[in-house]
C-alpha cells in the first residue's frame, strides 16, 4: 500500500484512475445490459456445417474477406458479424458482391439454403454476433401492425419512404424498397445494419417491436393499394408526372379531335 | 329582345312555347342568347386549355362540396377507430381521422378525394399550359394586357388553393410542407416569427392552422377565383377571341363558329370528356395515399417528401441552395436597437427570389414587350411562335429555368431511378439553373429563325417532294411542289419588326433611355428573317409554274 500511496501524485495517476473508472462503468454496463449480449443460437449448427462453410468461404469469399475472414484492403473482417449478417447478405444475393459501387446491390441468390446455412455457421464460429432470428419472433400475425407503423415512420421511413418504396441517400447510395423482402431478412437487416443502414439492436428496438414493424410491412404489402394503381408509391412526383403526361396527353388528344375538320 | 317576344301579337302555340315565352317576357333571356349565341369563336386545339381549366374548376367545386360534408377541420386529438387496420388505435388529429374516414368508411369517399386531387393537379396544369399558349402566340398584347394580369392572379390563386388543400388532411406529408412554409416565414427578418405565430396561432404546429387553411381553401380562395374567372371571361367576350392569321382573317373580324348551337354543344361535350377522363384516372390511379404517410408528427420526415407538382419548383430551389459556400454561410446577424435579428439568406434566396423573378416578368411582360416594340396598336391576330423568335426564346428560357427547379424537387428520385449520385444530380442542376436558360434561349432562337427560313423557302420555291427527275440533256433535278395559296398566305402573312435606332430628341440629344431602348431593340430584332414580299413571290412564281425545278435550282445543282 505504501508504494501506491507514494505514487498517488504521479503525473499519470489521473489517467490511470480515469482508465479504471471507464473500465469499471463500461464493464458494469456491459454486464447489466443485454444490448451487447450475443443472442443464443436459435438454429443449431453442427461441426460439419462449420467445416463445409469454411470450404465454401475459402472458395467464394476469401479473395476479398481474407483467409479466416479477417478482412483485407477490399473488404472488412467478418469476425463477430454473426450468422444473421451472412444469412442476410448471401441470402438476398448481395454477397458475393457483383461489382464495386456505392453499396452492394441485391441480385439472384448464388447459393442454396443449405450452403448459406453452412457459410453462416462458419462465420458465426469465428466470433459471437447476431444470430438468425427464431421463427416465433418472425411471425407477422403475432405483431401489432399499427404500432409497427408508428415505429416504422419514426425509425425507418426517412430513408425507406413511408410506404417502404425506398429512397435516395448521398453519393449514389440508397435505401432499397422493402416490398417483397422476407420477414427473416427484414429482421436480420435491422440487427446487422447491412450496407449503409444503421444497426437497430435490441436496446434501440426490442425484438417485439421489430415483430410489430414486420407485421406493419407485411400488412401494407398484402393489402395492396386501396386507391388503385400506386404509381410506385413515390409520392407527389410520380403523381405530377402522371397528370402531365397521361392526363394532359389524353386531354390534348381530345382537343385535337374536337377542333379537327373533316376536310 | 327577340322579334318574336317583342311582337305583342305573338301567341305561343305549344306548351314549351308558352313556358319559354312566360320566362322570356319577364327576364329577357332570348336577347342574351341571341347576342351571345352569335359570338364567334375560332377553332384551334390550343385555344381549349382555358376551357379545360374552367371545367376542372367546376369539377373541383362539385367534388370539394362532397368532401366538406364529411371532413372535420379540427386539430383535436383522437384515436383512430376506423376500418384501416394499420392505423387502428393510433393517436391523430380529428382532421386526419376524418380524411381517413372519407377514404375508407364513406361510400364513394375515396373516389371523390381522388377526383378532387387529380382535378386540382390538372387544373393548375391546364392554367399553366393555357398561359404558355397565350404567351407564345402573343395574345397578351393590346387590348388584352389586363386580362393577362387577371390570368396571372388566377395562377397564383390556383397555387394558393392547391397548397391550402394539400395541407388539410393533416398527414405527415402535408405537415412537412407546412413546416417548410413556417421555416420560410421565420427566415423573414424582424417580422418573420410574428408572421408565423400569427398564422399558426402560436408555435408551429399549434392547434389552429388546419381550421384557418380550411376557411381559406373552401371560402375565400374559391370565391376570389370565381370572381376573377367571371372578369376573365367577360373580357374574353368583350375583346373577342384572337385568331391565327389566315386568308380572310383580319384584325377586325373573327373567323370561326358561332357559340350556338354547334360550338356550345362541343364545349358542353368537352366538359363531360374532361370529367370522364378525370373520373377514369381517379378510379384507377391512387393519389395522395394519406394512409401511408401517417398522422402529422413534427419529428419524422419520410423519404420522397415532396409538394404537389406546382409548388415543386420552390422546393427544388430550396434543395439546390447550398447551406454554405466555403466559409460563407449566407447568414447575417443584424444588430437592431431591440436586439440582434438573423437574416438567413440561404432560406430567403431560394424560397423567394426565383418566384419573384418569374412572377415579376410574367406580370410585366405585356408592357415590357410594348416598350421594346413601341407598338401601341391593337392585335387580334396571333403570332406563330417562330415569327417572334426573341419572345419565344425568352419564354423557352423561362420554361427551362422553371423545369430545372422542378427537376430539383425530385432530385432524390432522379438519383434512385437513373442510378446516379444524388450529389451529382444536385451539382448538375445547380449549374443548369444558371446556364440552362441561356443555352435554351440561344437554341430556341436559332430554331425559330431556322423555321422562319424554312417557311420562306417553302413559300418561294415550294415543298421538296423527294422526286428526282432526269432531264433530257442528262441533268438531275429535284421536283418542288408549290403549296396552295391558302397555305402560302399563312407562311408569308406576318409582321417582322425591325431594329429601332435611337434618334435625337428635340434638344438634339439621345437620352440614356433611348440608348438603352436601341440596344434592347437590337437584341430583339437584329437577327430577323423578313417575310416574303409580293415582289419576291412574283419573281419566284415565274420559275415554278411547271412542276419542275426553276433556274435557281438548276444553278444550285450545277454548282455541286
pLDDT tens digit sequence for B329-339:
888 888 888 88
CB pair distance less than 8 Å for B419 and A237: no
Residues 6+ apart with CB under 8 A from A263: none
Which of A168, A238, A252 to mutate to probe the B interface, most B CBs <10 Å?
A168
Residue B457: all three cell numbers together: 423557302
Residues 6+ apart with CB under 8 A from B364: none
In sequence order, the 6+-apart residues with CB closer than 8 A to the CB of B85 are A145, A146, A219, A223
* CA A51/CA B381 separation, integer angstroms: 87
In the predicted structure, residue B125 carries a pLDDT above the cut 90: yes
Residues 6 or more apart whose CB falls under 8 angstroms from that of B40 comprise B240, B241, B254, B255, B256, B257, B258, B259
E strand or H helix that includes residue A242: helix A236-242
Listed in sequence order, the residues at least 6 apart from B9 whose beta carbon sits closer than 8 Å to its beta carbon are none
pLDDT in tens, B240-289: 889 988 888 888 888 888 887 888 888 899 999 999 999 999 999 999 99
A10 touches chain B (CB under 8 A): no
Residue B229: Cβ within 10 Å count:
17
Output DSSP code: residue A105. Answer: -
* Tens-place pLDDT, residues B431-484: 999 999 999 999 999 999 999 999 999 998 888 888 898 989 999 988 888 888
- Are A251 and B274 a contacting pair, CB within 8 Å? yes
Contact B18, B12 (CB under 8 A): yes
Closest CA to B122 of A254, A244, A230: A244
What residues pair up with B171 in beta bridges, in sequence order?
A: B295
**Nearest in space to A97 (alpha carbons), one of A126, A61, A129:** A61
Based on C-alpha coordinates, what's the Rg of chain B? Answer: 30
* pLDDT attached to residue B538: 83
Residue B308 has pLDDT above 90, yes or no: yes
- Measured in angstroms, the CA of B366 and the nearest CA of chain A are apart by 27
Q: In whole angstroms, what is the distance from residue B146 CA to residue B367 CA? A: 10
- Contact at CB, A251 and B126, closer than 8 angstroms: yes
CA-based nearest residue to A161, from A146, A174, A142? A174
The residue to which cell 371571361 is assigned = B233
**Rounded average pLDDT over B296-311:** 88
Q: Which residues from B are below 8 Å from A241, CB to CB? A: 309
Beta-strand pair B339-344/B331-336: antiparallel
Residue-level pLDDT at B199 = 93
Q: Which residue of B has its CA nearest to A163?
A: B292
Contact of A242 with B125, CB cutoff 8 Å: no
CB contact under 8 A, A225 and B293: no
C-alpha cell at A165: 418504396
Residues of chain B with C-beta less than 8 angstroms from the C-beta of A237: 304, 306, 309, 312, 409-410, 413
The pLDDT, as a whole number, for residue B540 is: 78
**Which residues in chain A are contacts of B281 at CB distance < 8 A?**
242-243, 246-247
Question: Helix axis angle, A207-223 relative to A183-192, nearest 10°?
Answer: 140
Q: Evaluate if residue A54 carries a pLDDT over 50.
A: yes
Report how far residue B14's alpha carbon sits from residue B5's, in angstroms, rounded to the nearest whole number.
15
User: Taking a contact as any Cβ pair under 8 Å apart, which residues of chain A between 204 and 223 contact chain B?
Assistant: 216, 219-220, 223
The answer to whether B382 and B388 are in contact (CB under 8 A) is no
Who contacts B418 (Cβ-Cβ below 8 Å, separation ≥6)? none
Consecutive H or E run containing A159: helix A157-160
Identify whether the C-beta of residue B242 lies closer than 8 Å to the C-beta of residue B256: no
Dist. CA B445–CA B517, nearest whole Å = 20
Per-residue DSSP letter, B388: S
The nearest CA of chain B is from the CA of A206 a distance in Å of 20
Residue A41 has pLDDT above 60, yes or no: no
So what's the pLDDT on residue B1?
A: 44
The pairing of beta strand B91-93 with beta strand B77-79? antiparallel
CA distance A255 to B47: 9
The rounded Cα B444 to chain-centroid distance in angstroms is: 19
- B395-432 tens-digit pLDDT: 999 999 999 999 999 999 999 999 999 999 999 999 99
Residues 132-171 (A) with a CB less than 8 A from some CB of B: 145-150, 153-154, 157-163, 165-171
Distance of CA A38 to the CA centre of its chain: 17
Per-residue confidence (pLDDT) for residue A156, from 0 to 100: 92
Strand, coil or helix: B202: coil
Angle at B211 between CA B205 and CA B217, to 5 degrees: 110
Calculate what percentage of chain B has a pLDDT beyond 70: 95
Between B117-126, B324-333, B434-443, the lowest mean confidence (pLDDT) is in: B324-333
**How many percent of chain A have pLDDT more than 70?**
94
pLDDT at A43: 59
- Give the three-class secondary structure for B478: strand
Q: CB-based contact (8 Å) between A79 and chain B?
A: no
Q: How many residues does chain B have?
A: 560
Rounded to an integer, the average pLDDT of B187-215 is 92
Residues of A in contact with B109 (CB under 8 A): none
User: Across the interface, do B49 and A219 touch by the CB < 8 Å criterion?
Assistant: no
Terminal CA-to-CA distance of chain A, rounded, Å? 115
pLDDT score recorded for residue A33:
67
**Cell digits of residue B260:** 350556338
**Which of A169, A227, A233 to mutate to probe the B interface, most B CBs <10 Å?**
A227
Confirm whether the ipTM is greater than 0.85: yes
User: What pLDDT score does B236 carry?
Assistant: 92
DSSP state of A43: S
- The lowest-confidence range among A213-222, B34-43, B396-405, B534-543 is B534-543
Q: Which residue of A has its CA nearest to B48?
A: A255
CB B441 within 8 A of CB B397: yes
Residue B335 backbone dihedrals phi, psi, to 5 degrees: -75, 125
From B139, B213, B108, B191, select the one nearest B380 (Cα to Cα): B139
Q: Do the Cβ atoms of A158 and B121 come within 8 Å?
A: no
Going by C-alpha positions, the residue among A243, A254, A253 that lies closest to residue B117 is A243
Partners of residue B131 in chain A, C-beta under 8 Å: none
B9-18, B97-106, B197-206: range with lowest mean pLDDT: B9-18
Rg (CA), chain A: 26
pLDDT tens digit string along A116-167? 999 999 998 888 888 888 888 888 888 899 999 999 999 999 999 998 999 9
Main-chain dihedrals φ then ψ at residue B24, nearest 5 degrees = -65, -35
Across A229-240, average pLDDT: 90
Residue that the C-alpha cell 411471425 belongs to: A139
Cβ of residue A11 closer than 8 Å to a chain B Cβ: no
* Whether pLDDT at B231 is above 90: yes
pLDDT band for position B21 (50/70/90)?
confident
B187 burial type by CB count under 10 A (0-12 exposed, 13-18 middle, 19+ buried) = buried
Taking Cα atoms as reference points, which of A169, A205, A240, A231 lies closest to residue B303? A169
| Cβ contact A243–B125 (<8 Å) | yes
Give residue B544's pLDDT. Answer: 47
Q: Mean pLDDT in chain B?
A: 90
Portion of chain A with pLDDT greater than 90, in percent: 45
Per DSSP (E only), the strands in B1-80 are: 40-41, 77-79
Cell of A24: 469499471
Q: Is the dihedral of CA B510, B512, B513, B518 positive or negative?
A: positive
Please name which of A132, A134, A90 lies closest in space to residue A112, comparing C-alpha atoms: A90
Q: Establish whether the linkage from the previous residue to B129 is cis, with ω within 30° of 0.
A: no
pLDDT exceeds 50 at position B158: yes
Please answer whether residues B157 and B225 qualify as being in contact, where contact means their C-beta atoms are separated by less than 8 angstroms: yes
Interior angle at CA A11, CA A6 and CA A13, nearest 5: 65
B274: closest CA of chain A, how far (Å): 7
Question: Residue A142: what pLDDT?
Answer: 86
Amino acid at each position: 500500500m505504501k508504494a501506491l500511496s507514494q505514487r498517488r501524485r504521479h503525473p499519470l495517476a489521473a489517467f490511470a484512475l480515469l482508465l479504471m473508472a471507464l473500465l469499471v462503468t463500461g464493464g458494469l454496463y456491459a454486464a447489466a445490459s443485454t444490448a451487447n449480449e450475443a443472442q443464443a443460437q436459435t438454429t443449431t449448427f453442427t461441426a460439419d456445417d462449420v467445416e463445409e462453410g469454411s470450404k465454401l468461404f475459402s472458395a467464394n469469399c476469401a479473395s476479398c474477406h481474407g483467409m479466416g475472414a479477417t478482412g483485407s484492403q477490399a473488404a472488412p473482417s467478418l469476425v463477430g458479424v454473426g450468422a444473421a449478417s451472412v444469412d442476410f447478405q448471401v441470402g438476398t444475393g448481395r454477397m458475393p458482391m457483383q461489382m464495386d459501387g456505392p453499396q452492394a446491390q441485391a441480385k439472384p441468390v448464388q447459393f442454396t439454403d443449405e450452403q448459406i446455412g453452412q457459410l453462416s455457421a462458419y462465420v458465426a464460429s469465428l466470433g459471437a454476433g447476431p444470430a438468425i432470428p427464431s421463427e416465433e419472433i418472425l411471425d407477422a400475425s403475432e405483431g401489432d401492425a399499427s404500432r409497427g407503423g408508428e415505429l416504422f415512420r419514426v425509425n425507418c421511413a426517412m430513408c425507406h419512404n413511408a410506404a417502404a418504396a425506398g429512397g435516395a441517400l448521398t453519393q449514389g447510395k440508397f435505401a432499397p424498397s422493402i416490398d417483397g423482402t422476407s420477414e427473416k431478412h427484414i429482421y436480420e437487416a435491422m440487427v446487422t445494419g447491412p450496407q449503409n443502414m444503421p444497426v437497430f439492436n435490441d436496446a434501440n428496438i426490442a425484438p417485439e417491436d421489430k415483430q410489430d414493424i414486420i407485421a406493419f410491412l407485411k400488412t401494407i404489402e398484402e393489402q395492396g393499394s386501396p386507391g388503385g394503381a400506386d404509381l410506385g408509391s413515390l409520392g407527389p412526383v410520380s403523381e405530377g408526372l402522371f397528370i402531365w403526361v397521361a392526363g394532359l396527353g389524353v386531354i390534348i388528344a381530345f382537343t385535337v379531335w374536337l377542333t379537327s375538320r373533316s376536310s | 329582345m327577340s322579334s318574336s317576344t317583342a311582337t305583342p301579337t305573338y301567341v305561343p302555340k305549344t306548351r314549351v312555347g308558352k313556358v319559354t315565352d312566360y320566362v322570356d317576357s319577364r327576364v329577357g333571356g332570348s336577347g342574351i342568347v341571341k347576342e351571345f349565341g352569335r359570338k364567334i369563336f375560332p377553332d384551334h386545339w390550343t385555344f381549349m386549355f382555358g376551357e379545360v381549366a374552367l371545367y376542372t374548376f367546376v369539377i373541383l367545386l362539385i367534388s370539394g362540396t362532397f368532401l366538406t360534408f364529411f371532413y372535420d377541420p379540427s386539430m383535436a386529438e383522437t384515436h383512430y377507430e376506423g376500418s384501416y387496420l394499420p392505423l387502428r388505435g393510433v393517436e391523430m388529429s380529428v382532421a386526419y381521422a376524418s380524411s381517413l374516414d372519407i377514404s375508407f368508411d364513406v361510400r364513394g369517399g375515396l373516389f371523390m378525394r381522388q377526383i378532387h386531387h387529380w382535378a386540382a393537379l390538372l387544373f393548375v396544369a391546364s392554367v399553366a399550359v393555357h398561359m404558355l399558349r397565350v404567351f407564345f402566340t402573343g395574345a397578351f398584347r393590346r387590348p388584352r394586357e389586363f386580362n393577362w394580369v387577371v390570368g396571372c392572379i388566377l395562377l397564383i390563386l390556383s397555387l394558393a388553393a392547391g397548397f391550402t388543400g394539400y395541407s388539410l388532411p393533416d398527414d405527415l406529408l402535408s405537415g412537412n410542407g407546412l413546416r417548410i412554409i413556417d421555416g420560410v416565414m421565420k427566415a423573414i427578418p424582424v417580422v418573420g416569427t410574428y408572421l408565423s405565430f400569427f398564422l399558426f396561432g402560436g408555435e408551429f404546429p399549434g392547434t389552429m392552422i388546419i381550421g384557418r387553411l380550411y376557411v381559406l381553401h373552401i371560402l375565400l380562395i374559391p370565391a376570389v377565383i370565381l370572381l376573377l374567372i367571371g372578369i376573365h371571361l367577360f373580357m374574353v367576350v368583350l375583346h373577342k377571341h384572337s385568331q391565327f392569321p389566315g386568308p380572310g382573317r383580319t384584325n377586325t373580324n373573327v373567323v370561326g363558329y358561332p357559340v350556338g348551337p354547334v360550338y356550345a354543344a362541343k364545349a358542353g361535350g368537352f366538359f363531360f370528356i374532361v370529367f370522364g377522363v378525370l373520373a377514369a384516372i381517379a378510379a384507377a390511379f391512387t393519389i395522395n395515399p394519406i394512409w401511408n404517410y401517417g398522422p402529422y408528427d413534427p419529428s419524422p420526415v419520410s423519404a420522397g417528401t415532396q409538394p404537389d407538382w406546382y409548388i415543386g419548383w420552390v422546393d427544388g430551389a430550396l434543395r439546390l441552395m447550398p447551406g454554405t459556400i466555403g466559409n460563407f454561410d449566407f447568414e447575417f446577424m443584424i444588430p437592431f436597437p431591440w436586439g440582434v435579428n438573423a437574416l438567413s439568406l440561404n432560406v430567403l434566396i431560394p424560397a423567394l427570389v426565383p418566384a419573384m423573378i418569374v412572377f415579376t416578368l410574367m406580370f410585366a411582360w405585356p408592357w415590357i414587350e410594348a416598350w421594346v416594340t413601341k407598338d401601341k396598336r391593337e392585335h387580334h391576330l396571333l403570332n406563330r411562335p417562330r415569327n417572334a423568335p426573341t419572345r419565344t426564346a425568352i419564354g423557352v428560357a423561362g420554361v427551362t429555368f422553371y423545369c430545372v427547379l422542378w427537376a430539383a424537387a425530385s432530385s432524390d428520385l432522379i438519383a434512385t431511378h437513373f442510378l446516379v449520385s444524388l450529389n451529382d444530380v444536385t451539382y448538375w442542376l445547380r449549374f443548369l439553373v444558371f446556364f440552362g436558360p441561356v443555352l435554351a434561349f440561344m437554341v430556341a432562337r436559332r430554331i425559330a429563325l431556322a423555321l422562319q427560313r424554312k417557311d420562306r423557302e417553302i413559300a418561294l420555291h415550294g415543298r421538296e417532294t423527294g422526286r428526282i427527275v432526269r432531264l433530257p440533256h442528262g441533268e438531275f433535278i429535284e421536283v418542288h411542289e408549290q403549296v396552295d395559296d391558302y397555305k402560302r398566305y399563312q407562311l408569308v402573312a406576318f409582321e417582322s419588326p425591325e431594329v429601332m435606332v435611337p434618334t435625337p430628341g428635340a434638344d438634339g440629344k439621345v437620352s440614356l433611355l433611348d440608348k438603352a431602348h436601341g440596344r434592347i431593340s437590337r437584341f430583339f430584332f437584329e437577327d430577323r428573317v423578313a417575310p416574303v414580299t409580293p415582289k419576291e413571290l412574283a419573281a419566284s412564281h415565274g420559275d415554278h409554274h411547271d412542276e419542275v425545278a426553276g433556274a435557281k435550282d438548276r444553278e444550285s445543282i450545277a454548282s455541286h
